[in-house]
Each structure stands twice: as structure tokens, then as C-alpha cells.
Amino acid sequence: MKKLILPCLALLASLFAQAQNADPFSLPKLDYAYDALEPSIDAKTMETHHSKHHQAYVTNLNKALKGSRFEKMSLEDIVLRAGVAGDAIRNNGGGHYNHSHFWKILGTGSKFDPNSEVGKAIAQTFVSFDSLKTLMNQAGATRFGAGWAWLYLTPEKKLAICSSPNQDNPIMDVSPQRGIPVLGIDVWEHAYYLKYMNKRGDYLAAIWNVINWQQVNRNYKEALASPLLKVIEKDAWAELKEFHKVMGQTFHPAEEGNLQPIRSRSGEMLAKAKTLQSGKIPPSFNTPAIKSAIDKLVKGSEALDKLVHKKKSSDKAVTESLTKLHDVFHEIQGLCND
């Protein structure tokens, strides 16, 4: 019996080690053959695009993640933090997310349905399917250099159109337009050059023949229900982020006994609190509880600033006042996460 158990354990241990070392991301398989989208998108372009370009994003993303604090995160969480993750993770994480999305919204045999959820939302926002196509093609054609055209869902749950440079997308904290992608079109030259050469417009006109509208409708419904939408809405609340920055940069040193940052920045903290109070609160967070917590934040910042400017304010009193203010801030953070 022992003779059997030991090799089994060794095998399990090696499988476990392999699983531990496995790369977090891999190239997804296509649901169709490379030539399935002919003649709109040719087989050679599809093969190179998927097996070479997308594969390179996956390989380089895995490499860039190794040993970083983003290593164990989901792709969405990584993409959401693109601005702080560094260029390699931003470009390759975006590349992996965007292409995984792109392969799925392509396909044949599923026509645009005006009675589908996304069909109705498109009519409501853009009046007609034709004007959606025109606006998307404009977004794609006017994107200078490489990038993407997006139909996406905003945190207000409205459809909107934008374009992004390189491998950015509306989920990213760096994007001026935020939301969840519903239909993204790759306008990098590698997506069309073999067949269309320099004629990006012809590629854009043809791609509408091979959109998988069932998938686009699914994307729309999933985006509507996705908790990520509220995360993006909060992340895009610039005034809250600005206040948070000053709070983080003054409270944490104070915890370690360094009061210099708060003593020099209490006025700035008060200014950020007032901007937060007078700014527009995003719809999901516009509740009486959050409004009153923000009022408390302004009062607390005022008290702290006064204390700091008093002639002989003790370190103990300043620390106490700052700690109280930090608690109020976390009350808001908590209310936002409900």
C-alpha cells in the first residue's frame, strides 16, 4: 500500500506545483473557423490576428504580471486599474480583453433584431440602426493610428459611442469615456490591411455583415446587470478620488507619527472636501446618507484645518481630528459599496 501512496503523492505534488506556476491567461479558442467570415474578413487576416497578434498580447501579459500585485486579479480588475498597472500590463491586458471580446461579437447567421433588448436601446439612443453604423464607422475612421471603436454602456445605463487609442477601452481608469463594452471594433491595421490595404472605411463597411447580434445582445444584458458598472461609476467620481488621494497621503504618514503632511496640506484637504460637496454626485450614490456624510466631511475638514493653524496645536489633537475625519471618509466609502 505504501508503495502506491508515495508515487501518488509525488504526482499530486507535481500537478499542484504545475497549477501554481500556470500562466493566469491563455488564448481563447474561436467558435468558428478562420475562413468563416469570408469574404468580409479573410481567413489569412483572421489566422494572423488570432494566432499571432492576440497570442502575443496573452504571452506578454502573463510575462508582465509575473511577480506583480496584479498577478492574481481577474482580467476586468486588471483592465480597470490600467492607469496604475504600467504600460506593459495596460497594453497587453487591454489587448487580451479587447480581442477576446472581438472574436465573440463576430460570426455569421445572427442578424440585427430591432425587437431585441439591444435593438430597442439602439433605436432609443441613436434613432435607427443605420445611424448607429454611421456613428460607429465615424468613430473608427477618425481614430488616428491604431485603436478601437466602441458601443458601450455608461454607468447611467445608456448606450454611447467612443473610440480609444491603442488597446485602451472604456473600462479603463485612463479612459475619458467610462463604461462596459457592448460592441468593439478593432481598427488596427493588422485587423484589415492584408485584404483592404489602406482602405479602413471599406473594412468598416464590410464588418457589419459579420456581427453576431445574439452575442451583442447578451453583452448588453450582462452589462446592464454587471456589478462592474457601479465600480466604474464610483471610479469615475473624480472629486471623491481627489479627496481620497489627499486623505491617503496625509493619514497614513500620521499613523506612523509623521504629521508633517497633514500640517502642510490641511487647507488642500478642506478645498477637496468642498469641491466634493459642490460637485455632481453620480446617480447611484446620490442618497441622503451619502450627502449628509459629505457634509460631515466638510465640517471635519474645517475643524482639522483650524486646529492645524492654531498656534500651539498638539500632535495628539491633530492626530485625533484626522483619525475622526478618516472614519467619516470610510463611512462614505462604505455607503458607496452597499
Please report, as ranges, the residues that interact with Mn ion according to CB under 5 A: 186, 188, 191
Shortest distance, position 152 Cβ to Mn ion, whole Å: 18
Comparison of 184 and 300: residue with beta carbon closer to Mn ion: 184
Return all residues near 202 (Cβ < 8 A) that are at least 6 apart: 196
Q: How many CB atoms lie within 10 A of CB 27?
A: 17
Shortest distance, position 186 Cβ to Mn ion, whole Å: 4
Comparison of 97 and 188: residue with beta carbon closer to Mn ion: 188
Burial class of residue 316 in the structure, from the number of CB atoms within 10 Å of its CB (0-12 exposed, 13-18 middle, 19+ buried): exposed
Shortest distance, position 190 Cβ to Mn ion, whole Å: 5
Shortest distance, position 218 Cβ to Mn ion, whole Å: 22
Comparison of 125 and 166: residue with beta carbon closer to Mn ion: 166
Shortest distance, position 160 Cβ to Mn ion, whole Å: 22
Comparison of 186 and 239: residue with beta carbon closer to Mn ion: 186
Comparison of 188 and 329: residue with beta carbon closer to Mn ion: 188
Comparison of 188 and 213: residue with beta carbon closer to Mn ion: 188
How many angstroms separate the CA atoms of 181 and 76, rounded? 11
Strand partners, 160: 152
Give buried/exposed letters for 80-95 (b at 16+ CB in 10 A, else e).
Answer: bbbeebeeebbbbbbb
Check residue 157 and give left, alpha or beta (phi > 0: left; psi -120 to 50: alpha): left
Comparison of 55 and 275: residue with beta carbon closer to Mn ion: 55
Of 226, 162, 219, 186, whose CA–CA distance to 96 is shortest? 186
Of 156, 154, 181, whose CA–CA distance to 164 is shortest? 181
Shortest distance, position 49 Cβ to Mn ion, whole Å: 6
Residue keyed to cell 491617503: 248
Shortest distance, position 122 Cβ to Mn ion, whole Å: 24
* Eight-class DSSP state of 236: T
Shortest distance, position 258 Cβ to Mn ion, whole Å: 48
Residue 151, SS3? strand
Please check whether residue 89 is in contact with residue 68, taking contact to mean a CB–CB distance below 8 angstroms: yes
Comparison of 186 and 233: residue with beta carbon closer to Mn ion: 186
* Sign of the CA dihedral with 136 first, then 137, 141, and 147 last: positive
Residue closest to Mn ion when measured from CB atoms: 186
